[in-house]
Structure 1
Amino acid sequence: MIIKGHEVKGSLVDEETRCTHYHTEKDRIAIKFFCCQTYYPCYQCHEEHGCGHSAVWPRKDFDQKAILCGTCGTELTIIQYMDCDYRCPKCNEDFNPGCHLHRHLYFEA
């Protein structure tokens, strides 16, 4: 599905990147997976529809754009995402703070 000009793969349920696994009002980001450089709404979507292996973003690449706001289409670097207090710096929409529980699945500690 093309969302705000970016291809997002997975089990999407709407045009703000919500998926069958995570679909609350605040679930509005997609994450570009390091292993395949493709946006997915969550790690489960990547497991079901992805490249077949998973690799986390290395700390040295945290300056790369890897987070997509499903509301406005802004791409954030990993550093910007980690420092944004769960709110898009452009459109001010809330992101799900519960995503921090899965941070280790996407980003090197």
Structure 2
Amino acid sequence: MPPDIAVRGLEVTARTQCSHWHSERDIIAIKHKCCGEYYACISCHEALADHPNQVWPKGEQGIAKGVLCGNCHHELTIVEYLGSGNRCTKCAAEFNAGCRLHYDLYFEV
């Protein structure tokens, strides 16, 4: 992980997997709107943060670098991530397509 980017969570690996999500494709971390911190998943945020989660409003999703690829550590805007076809736009690593089931926990949809 680059020294200037920390990913919080439970048992976080160098590829941003955690104790909750750790398949080969569970390699993104999401910056939370509420605190500006990357967490491996919403469950890690709930376990460690001292505040409730906030979702990214649609109006900020094209600007905010809100998703971190755990493979190459490229930061994607939320719009870039949502339109990526579940692959990193820099290194083409595959992301878990099932994450779309949880978008509403992170992003205004």
TM bucket normalised to smaller: over 0.9
Higher mean C-alpha displacement, 33-42 vs 46-55: 46-55
Does the alignment pair 1:97 with 2:97?
yes
Which consecutive unaligned segments of at least 5 residues does structure 1 have?
none
State percent identity of aligned pairs.
45
Alpha-carbon contact 2:12-2:40 (below 8 Å) kept: no
- Could you give the per-residue CA deviations for residues 11-48 of structure 1, whole angstroms, max 9, x where no partner exists? 13410000000000000000000000000010000000
Does the alignment pair 1:73 with 2:44?
no
Runs of 4+ in 1 over 6 A off after TM superposition: none
- Could you give the per-residue CA deviations for residues 37-96 of structure 1, whole angstroms, max 9, x where no partner exists? 000010000000124211100000002100000110100000000000000011111000
Structure-2 residue corresponding to 1:59: 58
Structure-1 residue corresponding to 2:49: 50
TM-score using structure 1 length? 0.94
Structure-2 residue corresponding to 1:88: 88
Distance in 2 (alpha carbons) for counterparts of 1:13 and 1:82: 23
Distance in 2 (alpha carbons) for counterparts of 1:9 and 1:37: 11
Alpha-carbon contact 1:12-1:41 (below 8 Å) kept: no
Equivalent residues, number: 107
Alpha-carbon contact 1:56-1:105 (below 8 Å) kept: yes
Alpha-carbon contact 1:4-1:70 (below 8 Å) kept: no
Distance in 1 (alpha carbons) for counterparts of 2:105 and 2:90: 26
Which consecutive unaligned segments of at least 5 residues does structure 2 have?
none
